[in-house]
Amino acid sequence: MIQTANAFLFSSIKPKSFGTYRTALKRFKNFCEEFNLKPVLTQHNLRLFVTYLASGVTPRTIGVYLSGLRYFSSISGSVLPPTKEMKLLSYTLRGIRLANIKASKPPRDPITMAHLNKILWFLRNCELGTQERRLWWAVSLLAFYGLLRSAEYCCHAKSKFITETTLLISDLQISQDMLVVRIRQSKTDPFHYGQSVTIGATNTAFCPVAAMRAYLQCRGFIPGPLFVFNDGSFLTRPDLSNFLTQCFPLIQNINTHSFRIGGASALALAGVPIYAIQAMGRWKSDCFRIYLRFPEGYRKYLAVRMSNTESLN
């Protein structure tokens, strides 16, 4: 019985998160051993620990490690106060974050319609085979219009996949005017309830429905992951990163998440309400607002609109 109870306990968080938490606990114990400290989660020890970590990991990772230590503290029966209640630790973390501002990465750029046009130009002029070219175009439009995270359509490895989390061809429904994709698991769906994403046809050169139809003509309907290369290997996140590097060799701030950022920004520019964007992107909070990017032309347009409000006074 106790084994079953423990199994439920440790499955309450994602395996990846649990692995990170165990790493945090191991590093804390090693740290205490190295500096002859008792492995006790006191504010003093935690301040020294985060200072020790600051030279090698990001402030965000430090925060995750603290969450891991708090998790193991809670299941062991003791209560570790929230970080904000431990003022010395809180101020130390703030100092670490401020010290890392200059070293932090610049914000990621969104994929815009102009970028999609460059991707299309690249695919029309590259030496890739037909299936590869159609795969990349279908991936690009699906990720952009569907506001997808890369983990929702990429496999973990080139030659194997996990059925419970991988986007399979059986998860796709396609008709004349829309795509319906069933996302088996996502960041906001840890219990695998599944979420459906519906994408309409645009009847343009950037039509996700037409791109998917063209790709499926090459891929066929053999069971397995949706995105498969001609040699039988599966699409992975490193593949997608390398593809974007080839398309935009001079732009460093575009990565796999740029499709999701770009899709949300395009919806905002089209006047879609914030609550609708949140629902379409499957965000549980309004944190996605920091992703929204607006081009300079739009800002100039808003300046004109702002100046026209004088007539209302």
Hey, what domains does the chain have and what are their CATH numbers? 2-99 (1.10.150.130), 113-295 (1.10.443.10)
Average pLDDT for 119-136: 95
Confidence of residue 189 (pLDDT cuts 50, 70, 90): low
**Better-predicted residue by pLDDT, 7 or 46:** 46
pLDDT at residue 58 above 90?
no
How many whole angstroms separate alpha carbon 153 and alpha carbon 121?
23
pTM of the model: 0.69
> Which of 88, 108, 85, 107 has its CA nearest to residue 96?
88
Average pLDDT for 128-153: 95
The mean pLDDT value of the chain amounts to 86
How many whole angstroms separate alpha carbon 175 and alpha carbon 138?
15
Average pLDDT for 238-264: 91
Confidence of residue 101 (pLDDT cuts 50, 70, 90): low
Give me the percent of the chain exceeding a pLDDT of 70.
Answer: 86
